């Protein structure tokens, strides 16, 4: 039967040395940060703003209070402390090695742990915050409290975000004898949009003759639909 008072963490199969610690939850609560996405409002010229999902800006982290407890049977907890230090890449108090990826399992009691998401791996992102300890008469460390911060490991250095779709700008090269009105007729299907097309290009008159080779910006299909559905709209 699973004891939900405990959680464990161990090195992933990719790490050469197999490390594993099982400990009891300490006093206090798990502090969880990051891993939450946000919506962003993106302004668009001549069109209503878009609401875009950006995804999480910060990776998920858990700061978990723990207790290494061998008090009842005088079990030495120094080996567990040493394993934790190795898992964090700390040697003589300094993080001189790249920390191994870890499997974190609270048997479903920790968000996105191995029970919930078996593919997730974690790293210890901060030195252990050691708390109260008990040493018996023989000098054996039989209880050690503390906190550990686990960071969800991302294979890409950047956090993936969903970017708004890029607008497709169309550029028409004018031919001899063309006007904004004739371009609007041939490309937008409506000569009546000639004035709007002129304004879109910082001009004023639909009948203005264009120079051969002159570039004329034409709105993409989304903006074209907006123009047609809003006859009084001015670019």
Query: Which CATH number fits the domain that encloses residue 216?
Result: 3.10.350
What pLDDT is stored for residue 62 in this prediction? Answer: 95
Mean of pLDDT over the chain: 84
Q: Are 50 and 117 in contact (CB under 8 A)?
A: no
Could you tell me if 55 and 148 lie in one domain?
A: yes
Residue 6, both tokens: 């405990």
What pLDDT is stored for residue 10 in this prediction? Answer: 95
DSSP for 177-194, written as a single string: T-BHHHHIIIIIS-GGGH
**Total domains present in the chain:** 2
Beta bridge partners of 89: none
Could you tell me if 178 and 137 lie in one domain?
A: no
Could you tell me if 84 and 183 lie in one domain?
A: no
Residues 227, 230, 232, 233: what is their CA dihedral angle, to the nearest 10 degrees? -50
Could you tell me if 81 and 193 lie in one domain?
A: no
pLDDT greater than 50 at residue 163: no
What is the mean predicted confidence (pLDDT) over 176-186?
93
pLDDT greater than 60 at residue 165: no
Q: Which domain holds residue 207?
A: 170-229
pLDDT band at 225 (very low <50, low <70, confident <90, very high): confident
Greatest mean pLDDT among 28-42, 110-124, 147-161, 162-176 lies in 110-124
Q: Are 111 and 61 in contact (CB under 8 A)?
A: no
What CA–CA distance (Å, rounded) separates 83 from 91?
Answer: 11
What CA–CA distance (Å, rounded) separates 189 from 221?
Answer: 12
- Within 13 Å, how many C-alpha atoms sit on residue 132's CB side? 5
Any domain includes 63 = yes
pLDDT band at 183 (very low <50, low <70, confident <90, very high): very high
pLDDT greater than 70 at residue 201: yes
What pLDDT is stored for residue 160 in this prediction? Answer: 39
Could you tell me if 121 and 212 lie in one domain?
A: no
Supply the pTM of this predicted model.
0.60
Any domain includes 159 = no
């Amino acid at each position: 039967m699973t004891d939900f008072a405990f959680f464990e963490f161990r090195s992933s199969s990719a790490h050469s040395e197999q490390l594993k610690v099982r400990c009891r939850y300490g006093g206090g609560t798990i502090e969880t940060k990051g891993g939450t996405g946000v919506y962003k409002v993106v302004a668009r010229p001549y069109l209503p703003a878009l609401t875009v999902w950006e995804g999480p800006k910060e990776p998920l982290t858990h700061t978990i209070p723990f207790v290494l407890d061998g008090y009842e049977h005088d079990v030495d907890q120094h080996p567990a402390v040493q394993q934790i230090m190795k898992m964090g890449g700390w040697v003589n108090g300094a993080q001189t090695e790249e920390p191994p990826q870890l499997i974190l399992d609270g048997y479903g009691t920790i968000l996105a742990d191995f029970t919930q998401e078996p593919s997730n791996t974690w790293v210890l992102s901060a030195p252990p915050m050691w708390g109260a300890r008990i040493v018996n008469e023989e000098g054996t460390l039989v209880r050690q409290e503390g906190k550990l911060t686990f960071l969800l490991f991302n294979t890409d250095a950047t956090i993936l975000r969903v970017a708004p779709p890029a607008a497709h700008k169309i550029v028409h090269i004018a031919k001899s004898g063309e006007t904004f009105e004739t371009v609007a007729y041939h490309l937008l299907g409506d000569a009546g949009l000639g004035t709007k097309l002129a304004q879109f290009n910082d001009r004023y008159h639909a009948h203005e003759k264009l120079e051969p080779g002159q570039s004329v910006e034409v709105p993409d299909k989304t903006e074209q639909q907006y123009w047609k559905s809003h006859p009084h709209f001015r670019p």
